[in-house]
């Protein structure tokens, strides 16, 4: 038991921490690929930068256009890449992680029980079901039930694999029309997924039935508009944005109408509004009563910089040179950032020393 002399300071400390909040603070929203890591390798100074922010009690979170897994899985993946003894000092939870499809949770009120086609590799369909979309059907599962829908992909798969496909859905569920398509991550099989997605959109949600070239009845939601992203390869690679362009082009060619879609991910404002609420909660837990300014750090001008520049006056865009942006120019011409730095380490130096 603590003595009275030791107990009073302890109570006082708790009251200051939990009851009396300080004024506003600065906060940071980090992109991941091209800022903290490239592929499965960390960028120099990433771990130290996060530790320094934590020690300075500056709230931060991660906003990535990546996805296909739960926020808890992505958090562990990041920590594994930052893996070193000092990385254990970083206190992270899934609440710090915002994926491209995290804001899609807001669609539960509209689509909770609807049959939804999930496009994306990894565990995208499982993620959708974890979010509460109980009738989410993965594109691979649907394909295994209907292998002739894309013959070239069927030829690549052993029939035994298709026949052994896990039957997670009741037979009557397979006859129900799809009400929506969620593109939650990059397609695993581009041609197959493009075909199936188009079949759903043009058949009023019932692939195999005649195409109805009229108003679009199936809702389409996409999580990531990035045409390019920075990975392990030396130059940027095509991302989900290429799938979007193909869908739009094919739909217009088939239907003579524009494809109607709802876009999430950076640079969409809805994504930054979602991220701001997350940062406000993190800041509140640190004892701040508001967030005055959010530094959004990214490597992709068309996504990270444009998104921050359009998100509101309290956002300030920060562009690093360790990812997509590698131009010798002092800034990006199409989407100029408020601040341009060499890497995350230089950004944190300037932030802590109030050089921004």
Q: For residues 125 and 148, what is the distance between their CA atoms, to the nearest angstrom? A: 21
pLDDT along the chain (356 residues), means of 10: 42 42 88 93 94 95 95 93 73 93 97 96 91 94 87 66 45 75 95 96 93 90 90 87 96 94 96 96 96 97 97 95 93 97 97 89
pLDDT value at position 69? 95
Give strand pairing partners of 25: 291
pLDDT value at position 22? 65
**Residue bearing tokens 């991550």:** 185
Q: For residues 230 and 203, what is the distance between their CA atoms, to the nearest angstrom? A: 36
The structure tokens listed for 140 are: 């691979």
C-alpha triplet 275, 77, 112: angle, nearest 5°:
50
Q: How many CB atoms lie within 10 A of CB 147?
A: 18
Give the residue from 132, 6, 147 showing the smallest Cα distance to 70: 132
Q: Give 273's contacts (C-beta < 8 A, 6+ positions apart).
A: 311
pLDDT value at position 86? 64
pLDDT value at position 307? 97
- Domains within the chain, CATH numbers bracketed: 22-100+268-352 (3.40.50.1000), 102-263 (3.40.50.1000)
Q: For residues 336 and 65, what is the distance between their CA atoms, to the nearest angstrom? A: 20
């Amino acid at each position: 038991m603590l003595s009275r002399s030791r107990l009073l300071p302890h109570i006082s400390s708790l009251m200051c921490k939990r009851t009396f909040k300080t004024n506003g603070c600065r906060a940071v929203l980090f992109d991941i690929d091209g800022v903290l890591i490239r592929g499965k390798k960390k960028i120099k100074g990433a771990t130290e930068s996060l530790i320094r922010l934590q020690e300075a009690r500056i709230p931060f979170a991660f906003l990535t256009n990546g996805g296909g897994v739960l926020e808890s899985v992505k958090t562990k993946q990041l920590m594994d890449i930052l893996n070193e003894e000092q990385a254990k000092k970083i206190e992270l939870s899934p609440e710090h992680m915002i994926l491209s499809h995290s804001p899609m949770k807001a669609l539960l009120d509209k689509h909770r029980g609807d049959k939804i086609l999930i496009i994306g590799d990894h565990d995208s369909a499982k993620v959708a079901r974890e979010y509460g979309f109980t009738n989410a059907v993965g594109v691979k599962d649907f394909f295994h039930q209907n292998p002739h829908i894309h013959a070239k992909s069927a030829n690549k798969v052993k029939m035994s694999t298709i026949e052994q496909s896990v039957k997670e859905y009741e037979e009557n569920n397979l006859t129900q029309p799809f009400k929506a398509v969620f593109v939650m991550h990059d397609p695993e099989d581009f041609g197959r997924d493009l075909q199936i997605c188009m079949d759903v959109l043009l058949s009023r949600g019932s692939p195999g039935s005649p195409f109805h070239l009229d108003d679009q009845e199936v809702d389409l939601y996409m999580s990531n508009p990035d045409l390019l992203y920075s990975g392990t390869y030396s130059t940027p690679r095509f991302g989900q944005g290429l799938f979007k362009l193909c869908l739009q082009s094919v739909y217009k060619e088939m239907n003579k109408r524009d494809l109607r879609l709802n876009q999430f991910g950076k640079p969409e404002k809805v994504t930054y509004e979602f991220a701001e609420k997350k940062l406000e909660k993190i800041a509140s837990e640190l004892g701040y009563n508001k967030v005055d300014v959010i530094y959004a750090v990214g490597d992709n001008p068309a996504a990270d910089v444009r998104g921050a520049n359009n998100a509101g006056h309290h956002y300030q865009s920060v562009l690093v040179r360790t990812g997509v942006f590698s131009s010798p120019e002092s800034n990006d011409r199409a989407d100029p950032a408020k601040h341009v730095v060499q890497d995350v380490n230089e950004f944190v130096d300037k932030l802590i020393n109030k050089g921004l």
